[in-house]
Amino acid sequence: MQEIIVYTARAIHTMNPSFPVARAVAVRGDRIIEVGDPESLRPWLDAHPHRFDDRFRNHVLMPGFIDPHLHPSMAALLLQMDFITAMDWRLPWQNVAAVRGQNAFLDRLSEIESALSDPDEPLFTWGHHPIWHGNIERETINSVSRSRPIIVWHRGFHSLFVNDAALSWMGLERADIERHPQIDAETGKFFETGLALAFRSINPYLLAPERFADGMERLRQCVHHGGHTTIGDMAIGIFDFEMEWAQQLESLERDDTPFRVALTPFASSMAGGDVGPERVDEIRAYQARNTHRLKFANHVKMFADGGLFSGLSQFGEPGRIDGGHGEWMMAPEIFEKVARLFWDAGFQIHVHCSAELGLDLALDTLEKLQWERPRFNHRFTIEHLGLSTLEQVRRMADLGALASVNPNYIFELGYAYWQNLVGFERASQMARGASLIRHNIPTTLHSDFTMAPAQPLNSAWIAANRLSEQGSVLCPEERLTRDDALRAITIEAAYILGMENEIGSIRAGKKADFTVLEQDPYEIPVADLKDIPIWGTVFEGRIFPLGG
Amino acid sequence: MIPLTIIGGYLGAGKTTLINNLLSAPHGRRLAVLVNDFGAVNIDRDLIAHHDGDTIALSNGCICCSIADAFGAALDKVIALKPDNIVIEASGVADPAKIAYYGQGWPGVRLDAVAVMVDATSIRRRAGDKYVGELVQRQLDAGDMLLLSKTDLISRDEQRTLRGWLAARTVKSPAVDIRHGSAPVDLLLETGNRRSEAAPPDATPDHGRFFTSVLFEDHRPLDRAVFIDELENWPDAVLRAKGFVRFSDDANRAYSLQRVGARCSLEAVPRSDDQPAGARIVIIGPRDRLDTEALSESLRRSVAVGTSALVRR
C-alpha cells in the first residue's frame, strides 16, 4: 500500500462546517485519509507507513475550486485571439494590462499587428467596448493595416468590426454587405444575423484542427491558473459534439491535466428542437465514453430565454425601458415536453434562465412536473439567474430548485442594465446572493467562461462585494457572506454537479483535491478576495504548482 | 439570386404540412426546403431518391435539408445546388422578420415572401399567452401574407370574429384561408413571369375554391407616377402580383413587377422576347375578396394616354 503523506499548512479551510479548520491533511494516493492536526492523526499514522511534507507550511489549503458552468469550446475559440481589454486580464502566458481610450486601443492593435511575421495571417482581437474604447470602425482599422485582415470582436460577443482586408478575406462583396440590414458597410460592423455571415468564414478558420487544439491547450492552462480542480462543461456540442469531445479527449485527458470535467450535453440541441425518448438513451450512452477525467452523468442542459449579453432575455413586467423584446431558445411547449422526458427519466436538469419571464417558465414547468411525478433530490438547477424577483426565489425554494449564479452580470452588465434596459431597482438585484441563502437554496457561482474570467476567486469576490465595473455597489443586501461565497466555489458547486461525495470539501474519504493559496481568504479583507495569489493545486494527490 | 420564401408561424399552425405539400406538388420546380426537424416532414417514400444524413433528395428534383444547428451552412449547401426557389421553415419561436434578414443579406439569395401560418382555432388564445403572446403577435406582423389554417374547425361566427380581430391589428397583413395545409405554389413562390415558364395548371380543388389568379394586359405603356401611386393603394386582397410593365417615360425598357403582400419591387430587366409592349400583370388573391373590377380600373387609370384597352382573361 502507498505511504500516507501528511501535508501541514498554515491553515486548511475544509468547507466542512462541522470541522471547519485544520492544520494537517493525510493523503494516500488520490484520497484524503484524515484531516486534523499531527496529534489527532496519530491512530492512522501509527498504523501505516507515512511521511510528513511541510512544503505548504506557509500556505493555506482550500478544497480544489470548482466552476460548475463554463464552456471549454468557446474558450478555445476566444483564447486564440489577442486580448485588448478595458480591465486587467491575467492569462497564464500573459498579463494583459488594461487599455482605455481609443488611441491606446489603436496603439496596442498596431503593436500586435507589427509583431506578426506572416503578413497574411488574420488578426483577431477581443475586448473592444465602446464605453472604454470609443468607436473602432472600418476606416480606423484600415489605418492600422490595409493588407492584413483585422477582426475587432466586441467584449460582449454580439458584434464585431472589420477592416477592408478582412472583408475580402471573408470573401464578401461590397454589394452583399451593403444590402444586408444587419451589417453596416460604412463602419464595417456586423451584428445579430449579420454575424452569421462573418462566422461563415471565421468559425472554420478558428475551429480548424490545429488552431482549435491550440485554443484548447490554452483553456487547459487557464483552468489550472484559476485554481480549479473540477469544471463543468455546461453544454458540450455548441459547435459540433463529436469534434468537441474528440478535442477534449486529446487535450484534457492527459496525465498532466490537473482537473476533471463534468460534461453536460444539450437535452435536445443548441437550436432547441423537439426530441423523443431515444434522446434519453443516446445521452445515457455517452456515459460509456467516460474516462478518468472526462465524465458524463445523468445531467442535461436546457434553455429558457435568450442571453443577457445578447439582450435577448425574456423580461417580466414591466419589460424593458426601450420596449425591446427577447426570444425563447425553445418553444415553451417543447421546453415542457423535453423537460418532462428527462424528469421522468430521473435526470438532473440545468436550465439557462436570464430574466424574470424565462425563470417563470422554468418554475411553472418544474411545478407541473412535481405535481405529475413528485421527485425528491431532483436538483433542478436554475443556471445564471440574471433578473429575478424575491417571490421567484421563494418559489425556487418551495420547489426544491438549486441556483447556479453568474455574478459577473453585476460587475459587467449591472450599470448598462441600470442605465439602458431596466432601471436601477431591477438591475441592482441581478444575480442574487443573500436571498437565496436565506431561503436555504443551495447556491453556487460560475463564470460561464468566456463570459467572465475563469477565476473562482473573482466570482466569489463579485458576489461578496457586488461592485459594478463603474464602481457602484449594486444591492449590498444581496451580498454573499465571505463563507457563503467560498462555499459557492467549492462544496456547493460540487453539490450542483452531483459530485459532493467525492469533491468540494476536505474530509476523510474524498479526493485529495486542493487549491493552494498564498493568503488566507478568511483573514484578508473581502474586497481583496480576487487578488489572492494562487500557488498551485493538488489534483487527486498530485502536486501541480502554477508555471511548474 | 435565388428567391427565398419563409414559412413562419407558431407551433401547430401547419407549417410542416404546407411544406410536405410543396415538396410533393406537381409544380415542376426544383425547390430546396430547409426544415428544422426531419422527423416531422413526412415525405412519401416513393419520392425519396437519396437520403444522406441531413439532406433528402426527391425524385422530382426537390431537396429537403435539415437546418440542425447551422443555419448558414445549410443555406450555403442548398444555394450551391442552384434550386429554382429556396423555402425556409422558420422555427415555431422564431420571428420571421429576423429570418427575413437572411433573405435580404445572404449572398446568392433574395427575399421573395414571408408567409405566416395561423392556426385559426388557437391564435387569439396564443396571442394573449403570458409566454408567447408577444412573439405570436410579432409573427403576425412579420408576414407578407397570413395563411389561416383550420378555419373549417371553427364556426362561421368564430371566423367572423377572427377576421375582425385580425383586421383590427395595427399592422395588417392580408389573411387568406387554406385547406389541408395546401396553398398554390404561385402564391408562395416566385415562379417567374415569362409565359414560357408557365407551370402546369393547378388542379388542387381547394385552391380553385379559395384562390383566383387574374391576368391583366394592355399594349400601352403606363404612366410611372400614376402607376406607383396606384400600386400603393391596391387592396390587401392582392396577395401576390407579378409581371412586366413599361413606362411612357422609358418605353424601351421593361420592368419586372414583383409584389408580395404590401412589399413591392419594380426592377428594370434585360430585353427578352416575351415582354409585352405595355403591361402584363398576374394577380393572385382570395376568390371571395379579390375585386377584379377595381383592379382593372386601377390599371386603366395608370395607362399613360388614350382610353383603356385592357383585356381581362
**Could B105 and A199 be called an inter-chain contact, meaning their C-beta atoms sit closer than 8 Å?**
no
**Could A273 and B76 be called an inter-chain contact, meaning their C-beta atoms sit closer than 8 Å?**
no
pLDDT at site B69: 72
- Tell whether B57 and B135 lie within a shared domain: yes
**Could B107 and A272 be called an inter-chain contact, meaning their C-beta atoms sit closer than 8 Å?**
no
pLDDT at site A90: 86
- Of B4, B37, B93, B111, which to mutate for an interface test with A (greatest number of A Cβ within 10 Å)? B93
- Tell whether B47 and B155 lie within a shared domain: yes
> Does the structure show a pLDDT above 50 at B309?
no
- Of A170, A303, A328, A364, which to mutate for an interface test with B (greatest number of B Cβ within 10 Å)? A328
Q: How far is A275 from chain B (nearest CA, A)?
A: 9
Average pLDDT over residues B238-262: 91
> Does the structure show a pLDDT above 60 at B192?
yes
Q: Confirm whether B271 is domain-assigned.
A: yes
**Could B36 and A334 be called an inter-chain contact, meaning their C-beta atoms sit closer than 8 Å?**
no
Residues of B in contact with A173 (CB under 8 A): 107
For chain A, what are the domain ranges? Answer: 4-58, 74-206
Residues of B in contact with A334 (CB under 8 A): 11, 92
Three-class secondary structure assignment of chain B: CEEEEEEECCCCCCHHHHHHHHHHCCCCCCEEEEECCHHHCCCCHHHEEEEECCEEEECCCCEEEECCCCHHHHHHHHHCCCCCEEEEECCCCCCHHHHHHHHHHCCCEEEEEEEEEEECCCHHHHHCCCCCHHHHHHHHHHCCEEEEECHHHCCHHHHHHHHHHHHCCCCCCCEEECECCECCHHHHCCCCCCHHHCCCCCCCHHHHHHEEEEEEEECCCECHHHHHHHHHCCCCCCCEEEEEEEEHHHCCCEEEEEEECCEEEEEEECCCCCCCCCEEEEEEEECCCCCHHHHHHHHHHHECCCCCCCEEC
Q: Which residues contact B263 (CB under 8 A, 6 or more apart)?
A: B144
Asked if residues A488 and A402 have their Cβ atoms less than 8 Å apart, the reply is no
Q: Confirm whether B211 is domain-assigned.
A: yes
- Tell whether B276 and B156 lie within a shared domain: no
Looking up residue B234, the CATH number of its domain turns out to be 3.30.1220.10
pLDDT at site B201: 56
> Does the structure show a pLDDT above 70 at A150?
yes
Average pLDDT over residues A467-479: 95
Q: How far is B53 from chain A (nearest CA, A)?
A: 15
Residues of A in contact with B138 (CB under 8 A): 325
Residue of A nearest to B109 (CA): A176
Q: Confirm whether B193 is domain-assigned.
A: no
Chain mean pLDDT for chain A: 95
Identify the top-confidence range among A21-30, A177-186, B11-20, B213-222.
A21-30
- Tell whether B40 and B75 lie within a shared domain: yes
CB pairs under 8 A between A and B: 82
Q: Is domain A4-58 classified as CATH 1.10.8.590?
A: no
- Tell whether B243 and B175 lie within a shared domain: no
Q: Confirm whether B106 is domain-assigned.
A: yes
CA distance A270 to B248: 55
Q: Confirm whether B39 is domain-assigned.
A: yes
Residues of B in contact with A333 (CB under 8 A): 11
> Does the structure show a pLDDT above 60 at A265?
yes
Buried b (16+ CB within 10 A) or exposed e, A439-476: bebbbbbbbbbbbbbbbbbbbbbbbbbbbbbeeeebbe
Q: Confirm whether B223 is domain-assigned.
A: yes
The CATH T-level fold of domain A74-206 is Diaminopimelate Epimerase; Chain A, domain 1 (3.10.310)
Looking up residue B92, the CATH number of its domain turns out to be 3.40.50.300
Phi, psi for A89 (deg, rounded to 5): -125, 125
Last residue of one domain, picked from the residues B138, B160, B188: B188
A416 against A36, higher pLDDT: A36
Q: Where are the beta strands (DSSP E) in A426-541?
A: 443-445, 514-517, 534-539
**Could A328 and B93 be called an inter-chain contact, meaning their C-beta atoms sit closer than 8 Å?**
yes
**Could B132 and A332 be called an inter-chain contact, meaning their C-beta atoms sit closer than 8 Å?**
yes
Residues of B in contact with A273 (CB under 8 A): 36-37, 91
- Tell whether B226 and B109 lie within a shared domain: no
Residues of chain A that touch chain B, judged by Cβ-Cβ distance less than 8 Å: 172-173, 176-177, 179-183, 192-194, 196-197, 199-200, 269-274, 276, 314, 325, 327-334, 357, 360-361
Asked if residues A36 and A528 have their Cβ atoms less than 8 Å apart, the reply is no
Q: Confirm whether B196 is domain-assigned.
A: no
Q: How far is A353 from chain B (nearest CA, A)?
A: 14
**Could A179 and B104 be called an inter-chain contact, meaning their C-beta atoms sit closer than 8 Å?**
yes
pLDDT tens for residues A275-312? 999 999 999 999 999 999 999 999 999 999 999 988 88
- Long-range pairs for B263-266: beta carbons < 8 A, 24 or more residues apart: B263/B144, B264/B231, B266/B228
Q: How many domains is chain B built from?
A: 2
Question: Which has the closest alpha carbon to A537: A525, A524, A548?
Answer: A548
Instruction: Point out the residue among A193, A270, A332 whose CB comes nearest to the CB of B101.
Output: A193
Instruction: Point out the residue among B10, B36, B131 whose CB comes nearest to the CB of A271.
Output: B36
pLDDT at site A155: 86
pLDDT tens for residues B26-71? 888 999 999 987 766 777 777 888 888 888 999 999 999 988 778 8
Last residue of one domain, picked from the residues B188, B221, B253: B188
Q: Per mean pLDDT, which range of A97-101, A471-475, B45-49 is the poorest?
A: B45-49
Per-residue CA distances from A261 to A122, A292, A475, A483 (Å): 32, 9, 33, 25
Q: How far is C-alpha B113 from the geometric centre of its chain's CA atoms?
A: 5
Which domain does B38 fall in, by range? Answer: 2-188
Res. B312 pLDDT band, cuts 50 70 90:
very low
Last residue of one domain, picked from the residues B142, B163, B188: B188
Res. A232 pLDDT band, cuts 50 70 90:
very high
pLDDT at site A157: 78
> Does the structure show a pLDDT above 90 at A446?
yes
